[in-house]
Structure formats: C-alpha cells, structure tokens
Chain A
C-alpha cells in the first residue's frame, strides 16, 4: 500500500482532452463534502442567537471564539488531556513492540516466525466490536475499569496487526547485501536492528505512528464501555455526552467537534503525505 504512493511522481495516465463530465461530478461531490464542514466551522464561530435566527447555512454576522472558550472550561480541557495521554501511551507501546516484532518476522528463520505472522494476520479480521464484551470482563477482572490504562492497553493491542503488516512491508525492502555487509563487520543482531533496520524503516515507522495515533485519538468504543467517570473521559466520549445533554446548543456542540479534530487537522495541514499513508493503514483494519 505504500508502493502506490511511492509511485506518486510517475506521470499519470494521460487523457487527450479534459473530461468535463468528471470535473462536474467532482464539483458536485465537493459541495456534499464541503457543506457540512462549512456549517460546522461557521456555526462554531457564531453566537447561539445568531445561529438560531440565521439558520445553519447563512453567513455568520460576526465571528466569536466564545463557544470554544466555554467548551474548554466546561470539561473539554480535561478530556483533551486524557486523549493526549491515551494517544501518547498507545504510540509508545506500538513503537516499543512492533519494530522488534517486524524485524523478527522479516529476518527470523523457522516455522515459528511464520506462525507468529499468521496470528497477527488473523487479528486483522477481528473488529473491536466483536471482543468488547469479554474485554469488559478482562479489564474489570484486572481491576482496570474506569482507568485510562484499561483503555490504552486494548487500543494498543488492536493497533498491532495493521502496524505489523505495514512495518514488515517496509523492512522487506532492505536488501540482503546490507545485512551481509554488517555480518562481515561482525555486527550483533541488536546492532543490525538499531544501526541498519531501524534507520532504513523510518518511513514505515512514521506510518505506524500516524496510524496508531489516529486509532487512539478517534477511538470511541473502548472508552465508552471501559470508563465512566469525568476524570477518565476522553474527547470522543465527551462529545457523545455533550450531544446527549446539551444537544440544542448547536454552536457549542460543533465547536467541540472542531476542537476534537483540531490536532488531526493541523497534522493534515503540515504532514499530509504521512497522514494519508496512515489513513491507508486504517483501511487495512
């Protein structure tokens, strides 16, 4: 899946004349995509009376950040922090576990290596919804219910199959000659890993970081089922509660939606390539 994007710079199939029909279709789709986004941004930047009288589609009379400020002081600051903690921890776990795993799968010998890889491939087909009931049993038995750690561990575990798939793909591209050269130097397995494999898999590592942080940041089901108190609430859960409790205050609600997506949107602005590859990882899930 990374290959398709590596080929980005090769000339695309050339058409002899511009396809007006296709352009029209793309424009129509643009309206459907952009309209909700416009309403979201527009409503979040205006007062509630202004929104109620003007309606969602009208242009805001004057812009205000009051909705954002109010959201942040009414708990979203806390949710933001919790989501940051979950995301960082998940990324750290993935970064510690997956590179050695992928290294072992790609360079290891013997039938056991193949079996390990098949186990993770099997995991690709298991959706989180399928295991949420026993996960609740496992987490509450382990005493981790309503604890951020109880969200972090399963979230990280469900990132592993896709991350393993992405990173083994990258590591397979390292040529045998490089490994032989390091063997002649008398390098240990550990040195081969840190000085050859890791530096040459930076692209894949970046992709799994993006993928796992997106999974953690946008995760909803695990927090919904495995936490309950205000102290452990993450952004997605905060949004859901906000909607059920104050669903009528649409400007504040939509400001909260923007707030919850802001970091992802910022990363998208500045590192689109890495993010799009991470999103393709989401597709593998």
Chain B
C-alpha cells in the first residue's frame, strides 16, 4: 500500500510549534490529508467501477480486448428480452414476499427479545446463529436438507409428497423465501430489539394506568414507536432482496427453466456465462436504479424525509 504514508504528510504541513506562539493553544484539527488515503482507495475500487458500469452498459465487451461503444444496443436488446422483464418482476415478487414474511416475524421476535424473560438470552443466542453463516453456507445447508433423495423430504413423505420442492415454480419460490427468512430474520430482530429497548418506560406506565393490556400496549405504543426501525429494516430488505444472488445460484440455478432467474442472477449469467459484459452492466445499472427508486418510495410514503431527527435510523 503506497498510500499508507499519507497521514504523516499533513503533520509535515503543520509542524508542531514547540512551546511558543498562540498556535499551540488552538485545538489541533486534522487536515484533509488524513482522509485522503481512504478516499482514494474507495474511489478507485468502488466509485470508478460504479461509473464504469454506466459506461459499459453502452458498450460491447467479451472479456478480452477493449470494450467497443455500441450506443443503446444493450438496452434495446434487454427491453425486448422476455427473460429480463420476467426476472425484474420476479426480483420484486421475491423481495415483496420477503418483506411480508420477515417484517411481522422480526417485529414479534424483536419485541419479545427486548423483554425481561429469563430464557430470553439463551434463546436469542441460538436465534442469531443463521446470521453467522455465509449465504453460501446457508444455501448449501438448505440444499442438502431439502434433497429429494437424502434430505428431510425423503424422511417425511407424508408431508412433502415426492419431495422435489425445487422442481416447481411455486416450490422453488417458497424455498427461496423460506431460506431468506431463516437467514435474515435475526438481523431484523436485532434492529427491532434495540429499538424496543429504547422506548421510554414511562409510556408503558401511563398506558398501564389507563388500563391498557399487553395487546393494546403493543399496538398503540410499541408499534408506532418502532416506525423508524420498520423503515430502516424494510429498506435493508429491499436492497438485499433485489440483489439476492448466492441463494439462487446454489439452490435453484435460476430454475426450473427460468422460473427463479432473478435479475442479479441473470446479470451473472449474461456477463460471466455468456460473456456478454455489456448486457450484464446494463442489468446491474437497472437493478441499482430500481433498488434506489423503491427505497425512495418507502422513505416518501412513510414521511421519513420530513422527520427532524431519524433517531432509530442505522
């Protein structure tokens, strides 16, 4: 790393005035030199690629040689590609199903985990384990679990029938939603647990004096107070859901047919299997745009942008 010496540079620019003058009374302020190494590094490996993705989406590139400018070709082809249109809808559908299953579940678990029960610490510790595994490990584990010949379906025929859950569109989508829920509910539970702990106790005391029971307290105090966390958590689910990749690659390979080929996976196939990097870049850009738009809509609808202090935000 060549850039490592940079912090020292700002010190050379402001030599320590040894003992004399008013300068040593002033609070020492770091110059921009301190931020420079990290900023350059980040620009090179994140901002430049982000700009390049836009450039490449107007180019034809097969992986070797120089990219060739082709104008709107990639975009026109994509917009006429039925698999592409389907993959976008599928990404949105999977994301929506994820939000709908994970949100109520993680709110309930989070509120429960914030409580004072004695068994809470032990159970919470177990609940978090799926979050520790990589998405790869989780997908490999579930694929083994759901194996029609050697997995759980083979042992519980009365429940699963022929057991080939990944063989039908509905089954494959259900499995993807289930695995996503299994893996990410702990994260959102954590968000809600922290937020529930931060609700002022005095609100519950007031409600109790007014005679409100546990259920009414939950709906009239806890839920409204968790509003900001819901927004944070839903935005995380939207961005995470639209970019789901590992799970699809390992569990379904986009199949049966193209029934679970969501956009992020289609991008990978186009770029790294068909070596059509221009099309891959266009899909990637489309995904970023859709994710940003949905996040903005969530923020707008919830009025989050008009709040003075987004206390619960991450």
Contacts and interface: CB of A to CB of B under 8 A. Distances in A.
Given A22-B112, A261-B134, A192 B197 contact: no
Given A56-B150, A129-B245, A130-B284, A189 B135 contact: no
B150 A248 contact: yes
A221 B246 contact: yes
A281 to B, nearest CB: 9
A189 B11 contact: yes
Interface string B264-292: 10011001100001001100110110011
A242 B135 CA distance: 15
A93 B2 CA distance: 12
Contact of A189 (B30, B245, B288): B30
A1 interface: yes
Contact of A283 (B4, B127, B236): B236
B137 A260 contact: yes
A278 to B, nearest CB: 10
Contact of A100 (B17, B30, B61): B30
B277 A137 contact: yes
Nearest to A281: B314
B155 interface: yes
A239 B34 contact: no
A104 interface: yes
Chain B contact surface mostly = helix
Looking at B14, B18, B112, B198, the one whose CB has the most chain A CB atoms below 10 A away is B112
Contacts of A85: none
B5 to A, nearest CB: 11
Contact of B109 (A26, A179, A261): A26
Contact of B128 (A25, A154, A276): A276
A183 B27 contact: yes
Interface of A: 1, 3-5, 7-8, 10-16, 18-19, 22-23, 25-26, 29-30, 32-34, 36-37, 39-40, 43, 51-52, 55-58, 93, 96-98, 100-101, 103-105, 107-110, 112-113, 116, 119-120, 123, 125-138, 140, 153-154, 156-158, 160-161, 164, 176, 179-180, 182-184, 186-193, 217-221, 225, 236-237, 239-240, 242-243, 247-248, 250, 253-254, 256-257, 260-261, 264-265, 268, 272, 275-276, 279-280, 282-284
Given A22-B108, A186-B19, A217-B134, 14 more contacts: A1-B194, A13-B196, A18-B117, A19-B115, A126-B288, A129-B284, A132-B268, A135-B45, A157-B41, A236-B134, A240-B140, A250-B147, A268-B128, A282-B187
